Every structure is written in structure tokens, then in C-alpha cells.
Structure 1
Amino acid sequence: MRFLRHSLSGLFLVALTLGLIVVAVSSVRDAVVARMSETPRMPPAQERVFSVNAVPARLETITPEMTAFGEILSRRTLEIRAATAGTVIELAEDFEEGARVTRGQVLARIDPANAQSALDRATNNLADADVATRDAERAVAIARDTLTATQEQADLRQRAYERQVDLADRGVGSASAVETAEIAAAAARQSVLSARNALATAETRVETAANDLSRARIAQGEAQRVLDNTVVRAEFDGTLSGPTAVQGGLVSANEQLAQLVDDTALEVAFRVSTSQYARLLNDQGRLLSAPVTVTLDVSGIALTADGTITRDSAAVGEGQTGRLIYARLDSARGLKPGDFVTVSITEPPLENVARLPATALDAAETVLAITPDDRLETLQVTLMRRQGDDVLVRAPDIEGREIVAQRSPLLGSGIKVRPLRTGPQDEAGSAPALVELTPERREKLKAFITGNDRLPSDIKTRILTQLEADRVPAAMIERIESRMGG
């Protein structure tokens, strides 16, 4: 009985377990079927918003500036050459590189002995020609008097002959007397012809002597010029460059002694592209007299000078491109021929253009504008000029619009953005940084500037004046200290 009871209990537990398993499997199957039959629920999608820097577009009249690089040249450079050969017996004390000379100053003297001897010979020849001229004039006077006397004698002979003929007609005279009187009259006329020939010869002597006198004067003038050329003088105020002459040295005719450079008549030559050159032409196709500004950075201080475009090159030149333009400088303190400078050319003003960052423009000349609902819109613009990190563009409907300052591949038309607008604090942050100097640091900087002989006096004065201020630009201090080695 006990065995049967245990067997029935075990069988009941097995049946109960199988029933529970069947119920569990049925519940899982029903849950899976119900889940698969339900409509899927998607989470709500959220639009991505990008933050962009926005700048306002304002149409205005802007005068663009073209930037180029050029070289300072002197408009007046003279090669000082020896006009005669000889030994240099004297040189000016400041006949050296970079010396400042004035107009008419004696630079060198060449031994004048040979030139003086030639002048003396020419003077003597002139005196001889003058004597010969006076002698010829006296001979002409004597020949005239002789002709007058001979003519009077011929007249007397002619009257005597006529009287003898009259006497012979009246039967008083003889034929021999008439013949003798006729012969005497003919001889007198022959004497008159001889006197006229002598007068003509004397007058020819006068003309020949006058020519000889003129040639003697020309020779004396040439000899005087040769003597004057033994003294080399400065033709204008300027600076000496490349002197080669030494005292006691022998120079030949036309040998170069130095160069005289007028450092007050400077110009700048710079090359621009053909498209840039076209922007500097007027309606008649002629080059504009546009103002220019040249800049040279010297010891942390920029040397500047203003000028005006005067001309361009006649030809492009072999192996060159663009155009070579020359501009005359009005006042170029501290600049020297040969300096490599930056040239800023002021172009004609452009009307109704907007200044935007260069990063706002793409290769297709489009910009992204922000709509009132903070979405992006593509605007087509016309690129007028590039000005450093900015561009000048023109578009009919850009006035007052906000433009994305920096383009990105993620940005496009219709994308929602969050504009970050530039505030007043950002504009104030662009001002140059100023620092306060300690007395020791200030004195050290002033001593360095005062002892720098390469700086012009006006530049020194300007720097020292800035160093006296309570707050000094940090960029200037950094440049000066970098040249001090500290």
C-alpha cells in the first residue's frame, strides 16, 4: 500500500509539472503573438540645430585698396665720369660711400698741367691771329689809299692826253706828243688795275685773318673747357654711391669715378597683374593718377611715404607677366633706392557693396543668409574685390540680411541654425593691446632707440614720444625687444 501511494504521488507531481509547462509555453506564445500583432511605436524625431557666426550685410560705398610689392628707385642718378685723362691730385674729404654732397661742390681735381699748356698755346695762337687780323686791316687801308692815288694819277694822265689831242686838232701839237700822252694814260690805267688787285688781295687777307682768329678763339674755348673739366663738381644735391677714385690714381677719359643719387627724387616701381591693371584705367583707357602708400618695416617702426601713379612700362618684358607701374613719391623720409616695400594703391570707390569675411563666400560665389525663422538660404552674389581677409560683394537683395561668417560642409539651404551675433565687446577686443612699463624697462628701451644710428631722427622722436606714455602698444615693445636680443 505504501508503495502504491508513493507511486501515485510521484505520478501526480509529474502531471502537475507538465501542466505548468504547457501553461507557461502557451502564455509565452500568446505574448509573442500579441507583441508581433501590435503597431510599432517610433520615438519622435528631433531636428538638429547648428550654431553659426552671423554678420550683418550693409551696402555702402567702399574705397578698395590693391596691395603689391615694389622697389624704391631714384628718378635722377648721375654717373660721375672723368672728362679728361690724368692723375687725381685732390679728392673731397667726404668722397666716400653714402656721403652727402651739394650742387657745385668740388669732388675731385685731375692734374691740369697738360690742359693748362694746351690753353696757353691756344691763347698764343689767338694773339698771333689777332695781330695778323690787325695787320691785314692796315694793309687794306694802305691799298685803298694807293688805289685812290693811282686813280688820281690816271685821271691826270687822261686829261693830259685829251689836251694833246686838242692841240693836235688845232695844229699846235705834234703826233709824237699825242702818242706819248696816250701811252702815259694807258700806263696810268694799268696802275689803277694793279692797285685794285692789291686792294682785293688785302681784303682777302682780312677775311682769312678773321677766319684764323675765329678758329683760334674756338681752340682757346676748347682748351679752357678741357682745363675746367679737370675739376669734377656735383651737378645737384645728392648722395655718393660706389666711389672708385683714389688720390694719386691715374684715370682715363670717361672713366667712372662714382655715382650721384638724388635721394629726394624717389619713385617706386611695382608689378601688378593684368586684371589689377585693368581696374586702374579710366574710361579712355589711360592709367589713373591713383594715390599710393609705400610701407617699409624698419626696427619695428613702419616707414611710410605717399605718392601718385605717374606712368607704366612701355612693354611687358621678356619672360614677365602683368604690368610694371611707376609712382612718384612726394616725401620719402628714411627710404633709400633699392628698398623692397609694400605698396597700397587706392582704387576708385565702389558703390552699393557689402564687406563680408572671405570665409563666407564659396567657389560658386554664393553666401548663406539667415531667414527670419533661423533657417539658411543661399544667395547668389557678385565678387567685386578681395581685401585681405574680407571680400567686397554686391547683390540686389542682401541689404540688412544676416550672413553666415564661416561656411561648413554641414551647412546648406534650409538647415536650421542658431545665430551667434557679434557684440560690442568683440569689437572692443580688436583694439591694440597696451601694456604698462616699469621705469627700468622704459629706460632700457629708450637707451636702445637713442643709440640706434640706423633710425632717422624723426622716427626716433616718434618712438621716444610713444615710450613716454603711460601705456605703450605691446606689439611695438615686442618688436623692439626682439631686436635687442632680450
Structure 2
Amino acid sequence: MRGMAPLVMALALLAFLAGCGPRRPAQETSAPRENNVRVRVVEAQVGRLSISRTTGATLAPIRESQVGATASGKVLAVLVREGSRVGAGQVVLRLDPVNAQTALTNAELALEQARINLARAERSTAASLAPLQASLESALANLRAAERRYQEGQQLYQAGALAQVELVGLEAAYNQAKAAADNARENLARAQRASQEDLALLRLQVRQAENQLAQARRALSDTEVRAPFAGVVAEVFVNPGEFVAAGQRVFRLADTSRLEASFRLPPEEAAALPIGTTLSLGYGGQTYPARVSRSSKVPGTDRLVELTAEVEGSLPPGASAQVRYNLNLAEGVLLPAGALRTEGRSTFVFVVQEDRAVRTPVRVLGDSGAQVAVEGVERGARVIFPVPTSLSDGDRVEVVR
């Protein structure tokens, strides 16, 4: 026991010295210090969200015509080959003109005969009216003389120098001359009316003959089938020696100077491309400008709407090309799609406010895949992107570049 007393005393002394040493500050025993989350941000900008897409299109001439014969007859000659370029009004094929030429000759003779008949009637009318006109002029002269003698007789009678019997005779002569003049005037008028009716009928016959001559000339001209506009003869449907009827198609003409591209889109995308919208068309490694010119607006059996765009440039008809178009999806605050977070049915982003990450609900207006348009975030707000997986609402953040 004596041996252990010094050891016990030494241990007690060490325990006392440890209790009398300096104490640790109280704060070192509290919760550990909060760390900042290092993040990057994008500034919210207001704009229009659009997306570029492509679809296949088929090129075709903007103007094409199935040209038909305007006369009946046997094909005499085909003057051009398929694939040949022709000008407007150029003769492509000829029909046998014999019948049309005969009809033209007959029409010319009929017109000449009608003109001769009219001229003869005009001369006859002039000859028949001349005596009647002379009779009228003579009767009018007699009337003026009888009227003058009657007026003079009245004056002499009033002066007592003429007997009443003589005045009565002058009056009777005046009345007789007046009746003769009226009769001559009526005869001339009746002859003139009859002559005018006859001449009017003959003039109608002349005009009718002129119309028949013009029709015969057109019929002869129709034996040459011409190109209605400049283009390429794509197909010829008849051969020399064949008989064609009026209205039967004889060749197909295509105007390849201007082409149009036809393509189909879903109704919602077609509605976003109104008439006049500018597109780009890719063919053979080159890009050509195009503009929407027509839209069916009604989906077809494949539930797609057919659109047509005029293309500027020299391209082969019938070729396939790619149409590139832009769709405006929405207008709002534009953000990277990766800045969005979802939880249940809510969509939100983290906005930096006073060095804190604040969870901010947003509504998506449009999504192009890489970018979204939203509302609920103010212009110029600092939105965290990319979003750390461990970030929570209210976390202290440190923005780094």
C-alpha cells in the first residue's frame, strides 16, 4: 500500500492540472459553418422562340398546259420533238388545211357577192328616187307660184281690180298645187323608206359574209396548233397521219423558267406559314430562295396540309428538294431548356437573389428542345444554369464565371 500512494498522488495531480487549463470557446462546439454553392447563371432575355425544320418537296413547272387542237383534221406534220424549247406562238404541229382553205375561198366569194348586191341596190335606189325627187321639186315650184298668184289676187280683189270669180279660180289653183306637192312628197318618202329597208337588209348580208370570212380565216389558222406560251414541249400525244377532233389534247407544254415546290405539313405548322412567307430550298448542295404562294388549308387524307412555294432559280422540274422553314413557337423570356426543373406538376427555375437560390415557378410557352420560352421570370433575372443536382431552395450560392 505504501508503494502505491505516490502513484495515486501523481494521477490526482495530473487531473487537477487538466481541470485548471484554458477552456474552448462555446462557438466551437456549435453546428458546422454553412458552405456556398458555386453556380453559373444566365441573364433572362425577352424574345421570340423559333425553330428551323426541313421537309421534302417536289419541283414542278409553275405553269403547264395540255394544249388541244382547235380544229378537226388529219395530222399533217409534227414540227418539234419532245423536250424541245419553243417560243410563244410557235407552230408545233400542222393539220391538213384543204377543207379549211376551201371554206375560206367560199367565204371570200360570198362576201364579194354580197358587196356587189349592195352596190347594185344602191345604184338602183338612186336611179328610182331621182325622178321622184325631180317631181317633188317641180310640184314645190308650182306651189310657190300658185301661192304667189293667189296672194296677189287677194290684194287686187280687195282693191276692186279683180272679180271674185277670178279669185276663186286662183284659190282653187293654189289648193291643187298644194295637193300635188303633198302627193309628190309622200311618193318620195314612201320610195325612200322602201329603199332604206332593202339597203339595210343587204348591208346585214355584207356584215354576215364578213363574219363568215373571219371565221373561215380562223379555221384555217387553227390547222396550225401553236404554243400558247414559251416553254418546253414535255409530251406529244399524236403522230402524223392520225385524225384528231377539235378539243383533243395534242401536246403538253411546260414553262420551266419558273418552278414551284409542293410539300405537306401538319395543320398547326401549315397555319404558321401564311402566304408570302419566305423559305429556303436546298438542291444539289445549293440554297435557293422560295416564297409560299398557295395553301390548301384543309388537311388531306393523310391529315397533312399541302403548300406550294414559288422558287427562284434554274432547277430541273420533277426533282426532289428539301424545304427549310422557321416556325415561331412563342414569345416570352428565353432560357436554356436545362434551366427548368419539375416536381410533380410544377415547373420552376432557380433565380439568384441576394446570394440565395430562390425557387421561382414558371409556365412554359414554347419549347424548341434546346431553348424554352417561359413566363414568370422578370427580364434581366439571373437564372442558374446548369443547375447543380444538390441545389435546394434558399441555398447560399456564389456566382462564378
- Give the TM-score band, short-chain normalised: 0.5 to 0.7
Q: Which of 89, 98, 113 is equivalent to 1:128?
A: 113
Q: 1:243 aligns to what?
A: 236
Contact 2:331 2:365 in 1 (8 A): no
Does the CA-based 8 Å contact 2:269-2:327 persist in structure 1? no
Assess, with a 3 A threshold, how the Cα gap between structure 1 residues 212 and 346 changes in structure 2: closer, same or farther.
same
- Is residue 341 of structure 1 aligned with residue 325 of structure 2? no
Q: 2:385 aligns with which of 401, 409, 415?
A: 401
Q: Is 2:329 the partner of 1:329?
A: no
Match of 2:187 in 1: 194
Shift of 1:327: 1.9
Q: Which amino acid aligns with 2:386?
A: E
Q: 1 or 2, which has the higher strand percentage?
A: 2
Q: How big is each residue's C-alpha offset from its partner over 1:165-188, in whole Å with a ceiling of 9 and x where there is no partner?
A: x8x96667999xx99998898677
Question: Which structure 2 residues correspond to residues 66-105 of structure 1 after superposition, within 5 A?
Answer: 66-94=53-81, 96=82, 98-105=83-90
Q: Could you say if the C-alpha distance between residues 385 and 250 of structure 1 is closer, same or farther in structure 2, counting changes exceeding 3 Å?
A: farther
Greater shift after overlay, 179-188 or 100-109? Answer: 179-188
Give the Cα–Cα distance (whole angstroms) in 1 for the partners of residues 231 and 85 of structure 2. Answer: 6
- Which residue is equivalent to 2:28? none
Residue correspondence of structure 1 range 8-407 to structure 2 within 5 A: 63-94=50-81, 96=82, 98-155=83-140, 190-280=183-273, 287=274, 289-296=276-283, 301-302=284-285, 304-313=287-296, 316=298, 319-331=301-313, 333-337=314-318, 339-348=319-328, 352-354=333-335, 382=364, 384-386=366-368, 390-395=369-374, 396=377, 399=383, 401-402=385-386
C-alpha spacing 1:55/1:143, structure 2 compared with 1 (3 Å): farther
How much has 1:346 moved relative to structure 2?
A: 2.6
Q: Give the deviation of 1:251 after TM superposition.
A: 0.9
Task: After superposition, give the CA deviation of every residue in 1:182-202 in whole Å (9 maximum; x if it has no partner).
Answer: 889867754543332222111
- Normalising by the residue count of structure 1, what TM-score does the alignment of the two structures yield? 0.56
- Displacement of 1:312: 2.1
Matching residue of 1:17: none
Work out the number of aligned pairs and report it: 331
Q: What percent identity do the matched residue pairs reach?
A: 22
Partner of 1:76, secondary structure, is: strand
Given that 2:331 and 2:373 are in contact with CA atoms closer than 8 Å, whether structure 1 keeps it comes out as no
SS in 1 for 2:285: strand
* Shift of residue 341, structure 1, vs aligned partner: 3.1
Q: Which amino acid aligns with 1:336?
A: P
Instruction: State how far apart, in whole Å, the 1-side matches of 2:86 and 2:135 are.
Output: 72
Name the CA shift for 1:100/1:154 in 2 (closer, same or farther; >3 Å). Answer: same
Separation in structure 2 between the aligned mates of residue 169 and residue 144 of structure 1, nearest angstrom: 42
TM score, norm. by length of structure 2: 0.66
Contact 1:378 1:413 in 2 (8 A): no
**1:373-392 CA deviation, whole Å, 9 max, x = no partner?**
xxxx9996736243xxx432
Using the TM superposition, give the Cα deviation of residue 59 of structure 1 relative to its aligned residue in structure 2, in angstroms.
Answer: 6.1
Show structure 1 runs of 5+ residues with no match.
Answer: 1-53, 281-286, 372-376, 405-410, 415-486
Residue 194 and residue 291 in structure 1: after superposition, are their counterparts in 2 closer, same or farther (change >3 A)?
same
Question: What is the rounded CA distance, in whole Å, between the counterparts of 2:109 and 2:342 in structure 1?
Answer: 88
Question: For the aligned residues, what is the CA RMSD?
Answer: 4.6
CA gap 1:190/1:214 in 2 versus in 1, 3 angstroms: same
Would the aligned equivalents of 1:368 and 1:413 in 2 still touch at CA under 8 Å? no
Letter in 2 for 1:262: D
